[in-house]
Amino acid sequence: MSSTSGATTSASKPASTRAKPANKGEAAVDWVDGRLGIYTLAKSNLRKIFPDHWSFMLGEICLYSFVIIILTGVYLTLFFKPSMAEVVYHGPYTPLEGIRMSEAYASTMNISFEIRGGLLIRQIHHWAALVFVAAMLVHMMRVFFTGAFRKPREINWVFGFLLLVLGMFDGFFGYSLPDDLLSGTGIRFMEGAILAVPIVGTYIQMFLFGGQFPGTDIVPRFFTIHVLLIPGIMLGLLVAHLILVFYHKHTQWAGPGKTEKNVVGMPLMPVYMAKAGGFFFLVFGVISAISAIATINPIWAYGPYRPDQVSTDAQPDWYMGFSEGLIRVMPGWEISVWGGHTLNLGVMIPLAIFPMVLVAIAVYPFIEGWITGDKREHHILDRPRNAPVRTALGAAWISLYLVLLVGGGNDLFATHFHLSLNSITYFVRVGFFVVPVVVFFITKRWCLGLQRRDKEKVLHGRESGIIKRLPHGEFVEVHTPLAAKDLHTLTAHDQPQPVELPAETDENGVARKAGVLAKTRAKLSEGFYGEGAQIAKPTAEEFREIESGHGHH
Amino acid sequence: MKKLSARRRHPLAALVVLLLALAATGGLYAAFAPAEKAQADTSAQSLAIDEGKKLFAVGCSSCHGLNGQGSSDGPSLVGVGSAAVDFQVGTGRMPAQQPGAQVPSKKNIYSQTQIDQMAAFVASLGPGPVIPTEEQYTATDANAVAKGGELFRTNCAQCHNFAGQGGALTKGKYAPSLDGVDPKHIYEAMQTGPQNMPSFPDTTMPEEQKKQIVAFVRHTTNDEPNPGGLALGSLGPVTEGLFGWIFGLGALIAVAIWVAAHTTKAKKS
Amino acid sequence: MSHDISEENLPESHGDSHGHAVAVHDDPFADPGLPVHEPRRTDIDERAAKRAERQVSLMFVVSMLATIGFIASYVVLDIDKIVYIFPLGHVSALNFALGLTLGVALFCIGAGAVHWARTLMSDHELPAERHPIEADDEVRADVIEQFRTGAAESGFGRRKMIRNTLIGSMAMVPLSGVVLLRDLGPMPQQKLNHTGWEAATVQKPLQLINMNTNEPMKPEDVLVGSLTFAKPEGLEEDAEDFQVQIAKDALMLIRIAPEDIKDSTSRDKGFEGILAYSKICTHVGCPISLYEQQTHHALCPCHQSTFDLADGARVIFGPAGHPLPQLKITTDEQGFLVATGDFDEPVGPSFWERKR
């Protein structure tokens, strides 16, 4: 560090050694480079390679819908009044003429019926929010099922997870703002859930609401959280997430010419600038069109919030639906502890399972890393079938999530499929425990079946559909041998072996006792990679034996 | 027409024809008989009751008993009033087809005259809510829809949903959708409390307020536009979520597949 | 296909046609390397390229037209104009026009750019080398050494007093922030234990006011099978704390034939079969009011807790943990329904301090 400080200007006339700029544009960029060092930055990034695959663009849908949400959200803040002061409505929407409502609700009515384009922007904002969280979930599933979360990307996985959770909650705070009958019911639920927290519940409730429910503070406070606090944190996480994507370089599928040491694809400049940049406009365009054709959150139809009114079909937006399911199917357990204090388990247990469902998926990379003991970097993606246990766990998680969504919409399932509300609830109570287990085993077997088929294909080639009669009269189907690239692609995956318990005695013959943790790990590892968890991939010997052995079939 | 001719040989066909004829004459008479003539009115009334009793014996008595006293299969109709009959038969709920969690509405098989006759008979069993006249359920108040909306959200939306689309009750029961329901029937339902619906009698919900609720229901299920586009069933966030996944994310993934796909090569390999 | 087919007629395996990387060496699964680039139509046919160029430009032009359409719709269309559009129904003309033109304007920019990239920009797949994320041992040792030097120079480890007081001060300073949060809200005290009915006494009872009519009710007004909602006398909709009050005071008034009431305590709290239950669900506080008059069950629309109102509002299904509180009612001298006191227990969701 100290060696550079000696090199000071020696020439009398400070002259740049740089070549003369060819035109004004270059000159301008030179000027910026002199201040920001952008040439060095661009050197490694301008022709950065991105591999082509549709599933790699799911993250971009998230990014772009986030940008759309920010753009439209800023517009909405110009007109929205986060105030619970009471006003009497005298606007163009006559079915609410003369009705008392909060200013928050009245200003949302104003946005919807008096600001030209206000309704459109509101709908874009809300549709983009639904798509944002949906895309994050699907993006996360893509990363999960392909093993893209493995070293070195575990931290980025956690960033992504935090973005998902924050996105869900910011959505909740956002749809609570208009103070309509539906969102007020949601806030009421939140109040009840907070009250169920042992010891400090009532204090948190009073502090959050500035007094008793509903009070007049909750909408302004949610507003700040919704437009400033959470988006600020999300923006930071998002930037970190993207920097890491650039830094790690994108993962890629196995294939000819693709290795752990390279990334094959098209350069950022120009192909991905056009594709990714264009994709932003495509996403924005699609969401605008949806907002032109479908209503979302018609607050005018719900009416303003009053704590003594309610409408059936009181559900949160879809991403909170699984927590709604947990709450709905929980039996009403309430117990008395510590000399007459009430513990509302009927609310507390779902409230505890809710984060656990999410955390289970958040910590998975670390658990898998620990079980497998794999310390290598991974840049080639796993095909889901080649990691049957992981795939089965992921499928089980999704099935649990879906079962809970059914629970959250049990009243609509009841009316639209002519079922009994109570039966659906009983089904979800049982399904919560049973369905994921069943799905786990089915998925695992399915993956193994697909692995067998791959093996078959490598060894015997593709079925050509052509029947051939052998000289002795036997009919056989001709199999077309696979091309070299396909042979490589289908056999490129790793097949890790289960970790073994250390030997019972060490090299000096002293007995060594394996701890419970080590034993558990060995067991789990056996479950992940042991017999019955993967089909040994074809070896070169097997391949050659069949090639040379009994002919071409 | 085919259906009708197929039923010609039904054992009750003759009876039905007879009743129809009687009902037509009786009904017409009842309808056109001058109201101020008390004498004629009374006799028309008793004629209608007689006709109603016959219709009742055929269509209703197997469950409700010959004199509407009720049985194990159906409740007593003493004191339910003519409004209840008009609602139940007019919406096709009665006669019920099969036992179940709830008797659904279906195609009404009686003429209004016949319904009025049966209603007159049931009303004669004991005093109860009377079939409303048109001005009873037609609001004239300019702000009826807004007032009705407020009342609807307090009294009705919890079961029938904010837009009158209906909702689930316990064990397979449900509050039906109010789409296309005759205003008279909406009024009668509030008045009489059919099946598991509680009643909203005039003593706690005056006629004027029922009018306003009817006006709101008519507005929200019929006249109300959906400025934002498709209403998605007016069922709240569940259908919105479904739509967002299928048409929002679905469309975007389809676009992503196009963006990321390799361009077709000149020579097929 | 019963006749014999000679080998020559079988489809050729295309994998070999690349020629340059046939797996003939030891490992049949070896990586054959990047496939040779194959040209697209637009790479070899100038006419196709020109056509693609025109298509891209066309999309950009359509986008411009759509933006003009957007501005025109904004200016021309009335905000309250409703039009019928199949299959959407009656929708706002402005919302539909703005959304669609904006959608087209944006989509066409994107589609044009992507089409341009897909047809006219180079589609040579290029490999880029990856470098390990981990630093090599030399760098690692160097950094650790630098850190140790820095740490030693600071004396952080040696001068324990500085270290400990620094940790102490850093730990304490956020407390100021915590203290500042105190005035976010009041202490809970007894607020959740009482409702507006608290003001009622035997000497000065409070009338039950019908939410619909804003009038008191007589017992004969409340019929068997009917459902009425009530609030305490004196609570008006324009009161400043109406929302807070009604969130606790709201009543659901029903009447059940006395012989059908299974719970005698509940029957005694009522008046001639008229029972006044809290409308606020004991689960998380939704206004529960899906009353089935034949079964006497009340269902909560939010989470489907079901209460048997004929049996002291016992929970018979769902996540609620305890029955709905019931308000004791009677009549005053003029014969109106009144309450003479508060609920016996807190209404709404349960909480830690709630006594069972």
Judging contacts by C-beta atoms under 8 Å, the chain C residues touching residue A483 are 13-16, 18
- How far apart (Å, rounded) are the C-alpha atoms in residues A370 and A364? 10
DSSP sequence for A487-516 = HHHHH-S--PPPP-PPPSB-TTS-B-PPPH
Using the predicted structure, report yes or no on whether residue A358 has a pLDDT greater than 80.
yes
- Residue B138 is classified by DSSP as S
Give contacts of A283 with chain B, Cβ < 8 Å. Answer: 252, 255
pLDDT at position A243 over 50: yes
Q: How confident is the model at residue A516 (pLDDT cuts 50, 70, 90)?
A: confident
Domain boundary pick from C96, C119, C142: C119
B252 to chain A: closest CA residue: A283
Of C119, C153, C184, the last residue of a domain is C119
Compute the count of residue pairs across chains A and C with CB atoms less than 8 Å apart: 378
C206: domain CATH number is 2.102.10.10
Radius of gyration, CA atoms only, chain A: 30
- CA-derived radius of gyration, chain B: 25
- Characterise C125 by phi-psi region: left (phi > 0), alpha (psi -120 to 50), beta (else): beta
* Integer Cα distance of A118 and A97 in angstroms: 20
Task: With cut-offs at 50, 70 and 90, classify the pLDDT of residue C270.
Answer: very high
Q: Which chains touch B (3 or more CB pairs under 8 A)?
A: A, C
Does pLDDT of C229 surpass 70?
A: yes
pLDDT tens, residue by residue, A123-181: 999 999 999 999 999 999 999 999 999 999 999 999 999 999 999 999 999 999 999 99
Query: What pLDDT is stored for residue B15 in this prediction?
Result: 61
Is-contact A81 A256, C-beta < 8 A?
no
- Taking residues C210-236, report their average pLDDT: 94
Q: Which among B154, B204, B230 has the least Cβ separation from residue C221?
A: B204
Q: Where are the domains of chain A?
A: 49-311, 448-548
Helix (H, G, I), strand (E, B) or coil at A552: coil
Residue B181 lies in a domain: yes
pLDDT at B227: 92
Domain that holds residue B189: 133-225
The minimal CB distance from A57 to the residues B226, B244, B260 is found for B260
Whether the pLDDT of residue B27 is over 80: the answer is no
Write down the pLDDT at residue C25.
Answer: 56
- For residue B22, is it within any domain? yes
Residue A481 has pLDDT above 90, yes or no: no
Using a CB-CB distance cutoff of 8 angstroms, which residues of chain B are in contact with residue A303? 149-150, 153, 157, 162
The pLDDT > 70 percentage for chain C reads 93
CA distance C109 to A517: 57
Contacts of C96 in chain A (CB under 8 A): 292-293
Q: Work out the average pLDDT over B13-27.
A: 61
The 3-state DSSP class for residue A349 equals helix
Q: How far is CA C78 from CA A112, A121, A291, C81, C128, in A?
A: 13, 17, 18, 5, 56
Lowest mean pLDDT segment, chosen from B83-87, C15-19, C188-192: C15-19
The yes-or-no verdict on residue A204 having pLDDT over 70 is yes
pLDDT at B264 over 90: no
- CA C188 distance to own-chain centroid: 28
What type of residue is B161?
N
CA distance C99 to C92: 11
Q: Could C128 and A208 be called an inter-chain contact, meaning their C-beta atoms sit closer than 8 Å?
A: no
Whether residue B148 is found in the same domain as residue B205: yes
Which one has a higher pLDDT value, A530 or C69? C69
Q: For chain C, which chains pass the contact test of at least 3 CB pairs under 8 Å?
A: A, B
Q: Which pLDDT band holds residue C55 (cuts at 50, 70, 90)?
A: very high
Mean pLDDT of A444-464: 91
Find out whether the peptide bond into A270 is cis, omega within 30 degrees of 0.
yes
Cα B41 to Cα B35, B47, B61, B120, B121, distances in angstroms: 6, 10, 27, 13, 15
Instruction: State phi, psi for C275 to the nearest 5 degrees.
Output: -115, 135
So what's the ipTM on this one?
0.91
Q: Does pLDDT of C322 surpass 90? A: yes
From chain A, the residues in CB contact with B143 under 8 A are 94, 97-98
User: Concatenated DSSP letters for C269-288?
Assistant: HSBTTEEEEESB-TTT--B-
SS3 call for B74: strand
Alpha carbon distance, N-terminus to C-terminus of chain A? 68
- Which residue from B minimizes the CA distance to C45? B266
User: How far apart are the C-alpha atoms of A471 and A166, rounded to whole Å?
Assistant: 70
Q: How far apart are CA C327 and CA C279, in angstroms?
A: 11
Q: Using CB atoms and an 8 Å cut-off, which of residues 112-151 of chain C contact chain B?
A: 114, 118-119, 123
Q: Inspect the interface and report whether the beta carbons of B230 and A138 lie closer than 8 Å.
A: no
Closest CA to C246 of C234, C255, C254: C234
Task: Give the chain B residue nearest C122 (alpha carbons).
Answer: B263
Domain A49-311 has CATH 3.10.20.740: no
Q: Rounded distance, CA A534 to CA A305, Å?
A: 56
| pLDDT band, very low/low/confident/very high, at A542 (cuts 50, 70, 90) | confident
- What band does A472 get if pLDDT is binned at 50, 70 and 90? confident
Question: In terms of C-beta density within 10 A (0-12 exposed, 13-18 middle, 19 or more buried), how is residue C92 classed?
Answer: buried
Task: Report how many domains make up chain C.
Answer: 2
Q: Which one of B147, B169, B238, B268 would you mutate to disrupt binding with C, by most C Cβ within 10 Å of its Cβ?
A: B169
Domain of residue C77: give its range.
41-119
**CA A382 vs CA A144, A356, A388, A493, A496: distances in Å:** 10, 26, 10, 7, 12
Backbone phi, psi, residue A93, to 5°: -85, 95
pLDDT at C5: 40
Q: Report how far residue B90's alpha carbon sits from residue A240's, in angstroms, rounded to the nearest whole number.
A: 66
Looking at every residue in chain C, the average pLDDT score rounds to: 90
- Backbone φ and ψ for C282, nearest 5 degrees, come out as -80, 0
% pLDDT > 90, chain C: 79
Q: Are residues B23 and B113 in the same domain?
A: yes
In tens, the pLDDT along B86-143 reads: 999 999 898 888 777 888 888 988 999 999 999 999 998 888 889 999 998 998 888 9
pLDDT band at C156 (very low <50, low <70, confident <90, very high): confident
pLDDT band at A111 (very low <50, low <70, confident <90, very high): very high
Mean pLDDT, all residues of chain A? 91
Instruction: Say if residue B262's pLDDT is above 90.
Output: no
Render pLDDT for B185-243 as a digit per residue (tens, 0 to 9).
999 999 999 989 999 999 999 999 999 999 999 999 988 899 999 999 889 999 999 99
pLDDT on residue B62: 87
> Which amino acid is located at A236 in the chain?
G
Rounded to whole angstroms, the Cα distance separating B81 from B89 reads 13
Query: Are B23 and B46 contained in the same domain?
Result: yes
Domain termination residue (choose one: B131, B164, B186): B131
Closest CB to C41: pick one of B158, B262, B266: B266
pLDDT of residue A191 exceeding 60, the answer is yes
In this predicted model, what pLDDT tens digit does every residue of C88-123 receive, in sequence order?
A: 999 999 999 999 999 999 999 999 999 999 999 998
State how far the Cα of C306 lies from the Cα of A208, in Å rounded to an integer: 30
Strand partners, C290: C299
Please report which residue ranges of chain C form alpha helices under DSSP H: 41-44, 46-76, 93-119, 137-154, 160-180, 242-249, 264-269
Residue B138 shares a structural domain with residue B109: no
Q: Calculate how close chain B gets to C99, using CA atoms only, in Å.
A: 10
> Is residue C327 located within the same domain as residue C207?
yes
In CATH, what number is assigned to the domain containing residue B156? 1.10.760.10
**What is the pLDDT, as a whole number, of residue C312?**
93
295-354 in chain C: CB under 8 A from chain B? 295, 297, 299, 301, 304, 306, 317
Total structural domains in chain B? 2
Is the preceding omega at residue A178 within 30 degrees of 0, hence cis? no
- In this predicted structure, the answer to whether residue B146 has a pLDDT above a threshold of 60 is yes
Say yes or no: B88 and B148 in one domain: no
Integer-rounded Cα radius of gyration of chain C: 39
Domain boundary residue among C104, C119, C134? C119
Taking the CA of residue C128 and the nearest CA in chain A, the distance in Å comes to: 5
Q: Which of B108, B131, B154 marks a domain boundary?
A: B131
CATH of the domain at B36: 1.10.760
Contact criterion met (CB < 8 Å) for A135 and B249: yes
Which residues of chain C have a CB within 8 Å of the CB of A333?
Answer: 321
Q: Which residues of C touch B173 (CB under 8 A)?
A: 292
CA distance C327 to C316: 20
The answer to whether A190 touches A169, Cβ cutoff 8 Å, is no
Give yes or no for a contact between C273 and C279, defined as CB atoms under 8 angstroms apart.
no
Question: Cβ of B244 and A134 within 8 Å?
Answer: yes
**Nearest to residue C194, comparing CAs of C1, C348, C36?**
C348
| Tokens at C322, concatenated | 């305890």
Distance from CA of C17 to the nearest CA of B (A): 9
Instruction: Name the most confidently modeled range: A429-443, A526-540, B72-86, C77-91.
Output: A429-443
Say if C149 falls within a structural domain.
no
Domain assignment of residue C355, yes or no: no
CB spacing of B240 vs A56 below 8 angstroms: no
Whole-number Cα distances in Å, C46 to A337, B264, B265, B266, C41: 83, 16, 15, 13, 9
Q: Is C135 on the interface with A (CB under 8 A)?
A: no
CB contact under 8 A, A207 and C184: yes
Based on the domain organization, do B85 and B197 belong to the same domain?
A: no
Structure tokens at A82: 């986060």
Q: For the residues B9-35, what does the mean pLDDT come to?
A: 57
Half-sphere exposure of C125 (CA within 13 A, CB side): 23
Q: Is residue B58 included in any domain, yes or no? A: yes
Other C-beta atoms lying within 10 Å of the C-beta of residue B193: 25
CB contact under 8 A, C104 and A113: no
The structure's pTM equals: 0.90
